[in-house]
Amino acid sequence: MRIIAGKYRGRLLTAAKDLSVRPTTDRAKQMIFDMLAARVDFEGLDVLDLFCGSGSLGLEAISRGAARATFVDHSRASLGLAEKNARALRCWTQCTFHQADVFWYLKNMQQCFNLIFADPPYKLETIGSIPEAVFESKALEQGRYLIMEHSKESPVQLDPQHFEIIQKPFGQTTVLFLKKLFLSEP
């Protein structure tokens, strides 16, 4: 696992030895960031990396110019790995780490982000409710993207009134590019 482009291009990241953690492959990450590059200017973005694991997605965004990344994971081991990778890249000062349940974090945080990544465990029972949890939390600015990975076997219900939806199949994975729509005031 490595950083694909930007300031830290080619730098290796430490992956979890625990096989229950499924990191985003370099090929999938390349596809995600290629699609984002046509839609997003990374310069100065404030990024949220949910279910962060090794921190690969948030750190890739920093490498491409994001100002800050916030990493959230329930697992102390995963969060420690993300911290280790941020220290190895020497971008620690641009990072914030929270050990918390992602749904609790979304309900209780006050910050708004320009880009959110969600790469949950595929066996997560509540995987289908992640987009609505992000939408209801106000964590994502209108007109900005939530990028979410899920197994093709795990259905995710999406509200087309909340998000502009692009689905990209990738092997056994589906990658969702969800642009938060502007809602008209009542």
What is the number of other CB atoms lying within 10 angstroms of the CB of residue 43? 9
CA distance 78 to 83: 9
**127-169 residue pLDDT tens:** 889 999 999 998 999 999 999 998 888 878 898 999 999 999 8
Burial level of 105, CB count in 10 A (0-12/13-18/19+)?
A: buried
Question: Is residue 137 assigned to a domain?
Answer: yes
Question: Is residue 10 assigned to a domain?
Answer: no
The more confidently predicted of residues 114 and 23 is 114
Average pLDDT across the chain, whole number: 91
CA distance 74 to 7: 29
Question: Is residue 90 assigned to a domain?
Answer: yes
Question: Is residue 102 assigned to a domain?
Answer: yes
User: How many folded domains does the chain comprise?
Assistant: 1
Are 175 and 149 spatial neighbours (Cβ–Cβ below 8 Å)?
yes
Question: Is residue 99 assigned to a domain?
Answer: yes
Q: Which residues contact 30 (CB under 8 A, 6 or more apart)?
A: 4
Say how far residue 54 (Cα) sits from the centre of its chain: 11
H-helix or E-strand spanning residue 116: strand 113-118
The reported pLDDT for the residue numbered 184 is 54
Question: Is residue 16 assigned to a domain?
Answer: no
**14-62 residue pLDDT tens:** 987 765 566 677 788 999 999 999 999 999 999 999 999 999 999 999 9
Question: Is residue 87 assigned to a domain?
Answer: yes
CA distances 123 to 34, 100, 118, Å, are 27, 18, 14
Residue 55 belongs to what domain range?
Answer: 26-180
CATH of the domain at 176: 3.40.50.150
Q: Which residues contact 35 (CB under 8 A, 6 or more apart)?
A: 166, 168, 177
Model confidence at 175: pLDDT above 50: yes
Question: Is residue 2 assigned to a domain?
Answer: no
3-state helix, strand, coil in the chain (%, to 5): 30, 30, 40
